[in-house]
Amino acid sequence: MHRTHTCGELNINDLGKEVTLAGWVQKSRDLGGMTFIDVRDRYGITQLLFNMDEDPSLCEGARKLSREFVIKVSGKVVERTNKNPKIPTGDIEIKVSALEVLNPAKLPPFLIEDETDGGDELRMRYRYLDLRRNPVRNNLILRHKMAQEIRKYLDNQDFLEVETPVLIKSTPEGARDFVVPSRMNPGEFYALPQSPQTFKQLLMVSGFDRYFQIVKCFRDEDLRADRQPEFTQIDCEMAFIEQEDILNLFEGMIRHLFSTVKGIDLGEVPRMVYADAMKYYGSDKPDTRFGMRFVELNNLVKGAGFPVFDNAELVVGINAKGCAPYTRKQVDELTDFVKRPQIGATGLVYLRYNQDGSLKSSVDKFFNEDQLKAWAAVFEAEPGDLILLMAGPTDKVRKQLNELRLEMGTRLGLRDKNKFAPLWVIDFPLLEWDEEHARYHAMHHPFTSPKPEDIELLDSKPGEVRANAYDLVINGTEIGGGSIRIFEKSLQSLMFKHLGFSPEEAQKQFGFLLDAFEYGAPPHGGIAFGFDRLVSIFAGLDSIRDVMAFPKNNSGRDVMIDSPATISDDQLKELNIKTTV
Amino acid sequence: MHRTHTCGELNINDLGKEVTLAGWVQKSRDLGGMTFIDVRDRYGITQLLFNMDEDPSLCEGARKLSREFVIKVSGKVVERTNKNPKIPTGDIEIKVSALEVLNPAKLPPFLIEDETDGGDELRMRYRYLDLRRNPVRNNLILRHKMAQEIRKYLDNQDFLEVETPVLIKSTPEGARDFVVPSRMNPGEFYALPQSPQTFKQLLMVSGFDRYFQIVKCFRDEDLRADRQPEFTQIDCEMAFIEQEDILNLFEGMIRHLFSTVKGIDLGEVPRMVYADAMKYYGSDKPDTRFGMRFVELNNLVKGAGFPVFDNAELVVGINAKGCAPYTRKQVDELTDFVKRPQIGATGLVYLRYNQDGSLKSSVDKFFNEDQLKAWAAVFEAEPGDLILLMAGPTDKVRKQLNELRLEMGTRLGLRDKNKFAPLWVIDFPLLEWDEEHARYHAMHHPFTSPKPEDIELLDSKPGEVRANAYDLVINGTEIGGGSIRIFEKSLQSLMFKHLGFSPEEAQKQFGFLLDAFEYGAPPHGGIAFGFDRLVSIFAGLDSIRDVMAFPKNNSGRDVMIDSPATISDDQLKELNIKTTV
């Protein structure tokens, strides 16, 4: 061992000890007669003292050290005259008697400090240096702790962690697969799993009863800021359970995580049916850190001659508490916000409830004060509030107002990263209409079971069939989702039929699962959490990138190792493939 | 929840309770007035009692149940008249008052019992049924427990589990890579990692100090019985340590595993240098459950006119204790064994030390009794022993005699699967001569550091340079290996040169690592264990296949899901590749 202690553990109780430390030079200060060096490792920082009078050559050596040199020092623990109460080692320093440079360092391309001057591109290229920074490393320490606690909790609940294969088979449903040419089976390909869905269901058929895995999954999608081609799921499945059991058990897991990792009692997780989430928040993942619920106004606004309202399927609004003083400019900003192409609204109607009790709206022409008072009443508005209204086709206007609500939440500081508002959204629709392909597809996946009481609607009103499916949402982000699964061959075949599979296609793609259901499949269900996302919420980050050690950029590249890259002709030949570019 | 209890937990203390169980029908016995059903789940088996007199229609229902039906029953816990002391629930049975068939089952294609009539092919095709069998499921439960204990141990030792990427870059060194075409980067490919080697070293450069990961790795090799294209490693790395620290810490991990999972105190793990392992066992992974060490005889046998010995580089033998009574036929069998093409020896010389003290050898013509007595003496042979000798080129004859020693160990019952003999093999050579390509390659990998005192031999006698590399062997199987790494750019560049890389090639493949070494890389080293292999040793199995939930066959196929498979032309087009078959 190149050290007797880490750089984070020595304190006043160690005075007089002869110790050896190793680490990186964080900074040095040369005060003429004395040179101070801060040496850093994962565990902390310790101050080193070199005295010119006592050992000039040693001190000269210390003066030559630059940032990020790797050094090993021996010396005695002494009390500091100038203590630093901010760090655990701040009461002591090491009076160095021997110094060895284990490895020198070039000047890093950016500052290795909590706040760095390195841009994204540079930090990713030198990710190994970026990972030296406390905030980045702390995210990964947090991730480690969370993974440990998740495993502890699930192990205590009799879950077995079972590794499912990474080299599986491509299926046309869902997102694009990454594929892997098989050398031994020319012309054939493996696919990397988008999730271990079918394998975990087979483990239930096998009687494993409770399965989990913290597992890498893969999706070849066009990457947005917050997507990665490889990501990690906490994947879980249970047999002989009902939805209620899953909600309770995994609510327990999330509460355990908050309590052990963050010391927060999350409390009971409220539940909301999908239909209400859409009605009151315009989203299946409402941010419930703040209220500002939607209020529908159709019965108050129709027939007044204002065509935008009269022609709209839905007129709906929110009450921005205390925003009546907003200037014209501020209100215009909000109008511009909802008119941006990403949101696509045609306009915004406001009703200002002034502090003096008077009402002022952008549609005064069409509505008298009594009418406006009635609006204010349904919003439970008080003097000082600003009511914002939008109108249009129901689904569209809800989505638009959701964006505005979130924007107002941000402007009003209601989306505190240190506050955590969890929510179960339940009773999702089974099927979702796909405009592009003019057919229904599974909202969750094809293995989700319809609610038994809704099965009869499958033929007549497929869009109204509710599923035994649920999402866990925290602060407006979906962090997990799951369902009770179909476990009978006949119902699964019916489901495939409704999704447009021919019996032959269904058998070719999922024959092994349909077969398995004939040999004694138990009722089962499960859930999967996006682990990267969950960690990022715990870390208070907007992106999942900084909770991954080596993320890829938006083109799917790892700029540090310069991957992907071309491969040799010999490799291509052995794999029986050619590139066409 | 479809049950109040599992099938493994009810006992005499639960008498009189009303319970609900769910599980699979293991077997049924119809005794006229009464029908008994054994219902099974992961946790155990419980006997159900149906009484024809009390509820004929219920009993009729029970009679219709076949093996592997999934059922749910409610009833009262009663004491059995005919107790079964072999199972924890053997004192009780459930007097059933309600029965529900949750899912019927077709007759399984093989018996779901500890001993099955299903062949390998059938069991793999219906792996989800094979996994219902206790021995197979118990292997996976064992695997789960081991993974949990490994994580506990390493977490307690301040290791951080960090996930490294699965989509990385192909490198020409080592085994064949599986590759993944990148849709977003046409003509370019990711590779799946053979190990996270370079990433874990970068994490050391980042100051993570102690890293581990239980991680899938991939090798596109021609599969032998005991190889799988995807396998799992316990991958570890530490900074600021020396070889001694790694040996101690991971010896601790293995002892922790044996103690917590198997209740065995493994004791201290002995160490042996590579040169001795080869000299005394003819193998770098000796099975030390038994002795039978090699004895070299050159100085006793040369010059007697027996050409086989006179011309041999090495004459070496083992003492098969108590085997003097072997018949001519048995000795011939051994001769045939070593002459098999896989071993390739030309013959076997024996010396029989008869119970009456007389000596009899197959080379009596060339050696007199005194000479033979001298042989017996160096083998410390006693009356009743059989000495077996082989001769030839040193490396070759050692390998051959190793096979014979293992065969004798097996014949003599010295390789007990319930006995565990661990061993550290240390001081491996740095380089290994590659006959085929007429050059040296790295015995471990290109990042292994030479012993400092041997570096000067790199140019003159590269084959004699020893590495700071070590393997952990249990019962003749390598279960882990590692090394202290190079951490200086200059030495790493020198190493690449000796491995035949041009500076350009080295920079192209490993530039990111060489660059990283310039920014303050600490001394570091690590180890990786084959997790599948380790579990198989704990389970007393010869193959790793049955410690994996969904293994592939020798052609790399998953016969259950029928993968790999062809993919659509659209997929190929999007990926900018064509197949050439």
* Residue A517 with chain B: CB contacts under 8 Å: 103
* Residue A189 with chain B: CB contacts under 8 Å: 564-567
Q: CB neighbours of A414 closer than 8 A, spacing ≥ 6?
A: A289, A290, A292
Is A127 touching B (CB cutoff 8 A)?
Answer: yes
Q: What's the gap in Å between the CA of B73 and the closest CA on chain A?
A: 12
Tell me the C-alpha to C-alpha distance, in Å, between residue A329 and each of A56, A351, A386, A387, A568: 67, 15, 14, 16, 60
> Which pair of tokens denotes residue A438?
């003019």
Q: What's the gap in Å between the CA of A444 and the closest CA on chain B?
A: 22
What is the three-class DSSP state of B201?
helix
CB nearest to A160's CB, from B140, B182, B189: B140
* Residue A23 with chain B: CB contacts under 8 Å: 207
CB contact under 8 A, A577 and B576: no
Query: For the CA atoms of B509, B513, B519, B525, what is the dihedral angle to 10 degrees?
Result: -160
Name which of B160, B209, B261, B562 to mutate to probe chain A: the one with the most chain A Cβ atoms within 10 A of its Cβ: B160
Q: Which stretches of B327-448 are assigned E, i.e. beta strand?
A: 349-353, 359-361, 386-392, 422-426, 431-434, 439-442
For chain B, residues with pLDDT lower than 50 are: none
Query: For the CA atoms of B339, B343, B347, B352, what is the dihedral angle to 10 degrees?
Result: -100
A505 φ/ψ angles, rounded to the nearest 5 degrees? -60, -45
pLDDT for the residue numbered B347: 94
Is A41 touching B (CB cutoff 8 A)?
Answer: yes
Is A519 touching B (CB cutoff 8 A)?
Answer: yes
Q: Which of residues 351-410 of A touch B (CB under 8 A)?
A: none
Q: What are the average pLDDT values for consecutive 10-residue runs of chain A, which has 581 residues?
A: 96 98 96 94 97 93 96 98 95 97 96 90 96 96 98 98 97 85 96 96 98 97 84 98 97 98 97 98 98 97 94 97 96 97 95 95 94 96 97 97 98 96 97 86 92 92 95 97 97 92 90 96 98 97 94 93 94 95 87
Q: Rounded distance, CA B36 to CA B56, Å?
A: 14
What is the three-class DSSP state of A563?
strand
CB contact under 8 A, B512 and A560: yes
CB contact under 8 A, A185 and B564: yes
Is B3 touching A (CB cutoff 8 A)?
Answer: yes
Measured from the Cβ of residue B410, the count of other Cβ atoms closer than 10 Å reads: 12
Q: CB neighbours of B457 closer than 8 A, spacing ≥ 6?
A: B464, B465
CB contact under 8 A, A108 and B155: no
pLDDT for the residue numbered B459: 87
Q: CB neighbours of A364 closer than 8 A, spacing ≥ 6?
A: A372
Q: CB neighbours of B480 closer than 8 A, spacing ≥ 6?
A: B234, B250, B471, B472, B527, B528, B529, B530, B534
Contact (CB, 8 A) for A210 and A246:
no
Name which of A20, A161, A177, A190 to mutate to probe chain B: the one with the most chain B Cβ atoms within 10 A of its Cβ: A190
Q: Rounded distance, CA A400 to CA A405, Å?
A: 9
Name which of B240, B261, B485, B571 to mutate to probe chain A: the one with the most chain A Cβ atoms within 10 A of its Cβ: B240
Is B187 touching A (CB cutoff 8 A)?
Answer: yes
Is B153 touching A (CB cutoff 8 A)?
Answer: no
Q: Rounded distance, CA B546 to CA B228, Å?
A: 12
Name which of B146, B490, B519 to mutate to probe chain A: the one with the most chain A Cβ atoms within 10 A of its Cβ: B519
Give me the half-sphere count of Cα atoms (radius 13 Å) on the Cβ side of residue B348: 26
Q: CB neighbours of B111 closer than 8 A, spacing ≥ 6?
A: B117, B118
pLDDT for the residue numbered A395: 96
Q: What's the gap in Å between the CA of A333 and the closest CA on chain B?
A: 37
CB contact under 8 A, A519 and B68: yes
CB nearest to B103's CB, from A126, A487, A552: A487
Please give the ipTM for the structure prediction. Answer: 0.95
* Residue in A with minimal Cα distance to B213: A144
Q: What's the gap in Å between the CA of A168 and the closest CA on chain B?
A: 6
Measured from the Cβ of residue A433, the count of other Cβ atoms closer than 10 Å reads: 13
CB contact under 8 A, B160 and A144: yes
**pLDDT single digits (tens) B492-520:** 999 999 988 899 989 988 999 999 999 99
pLDDT for the residue numbered B118: 86
Distance between the two ends of chain A, CA-based, in angstroms?
52
CB nearest to A161's CB, from B137, B144, B568: B144
Q: CB neighbours of A289 closer than 8 A, spacing ≥ 6?
A: A409, A414, A415, A416, A419, A420, A421, A475, A476
CB nearest to B128's CB, from A132, A155, A206: A206
Query: For the CA atoms of A245, A249, A252, A257, what is the dihedral angle to 10 degrees?
Result: -150
- Which pTM value belongs to this model? 0.96
CB contact under 8 A, A22 and B561: no
pLDDT for the residue numbered A173: 66
CB contact under 8 A, B488 and A103: yes
Q: CB neighbours of A254 closer than 8 A, spacing ≥ 6?
A: A266, A269, A422, A472, A474
> Which pair of tokens denotes residue B306?
């027996």
CB contact under 8 A, A105 and B519: yes
Q: Rounded distance, CA A481 to CA B256, Å?
A: 37
pLDDT for the residue numbered A171: 81
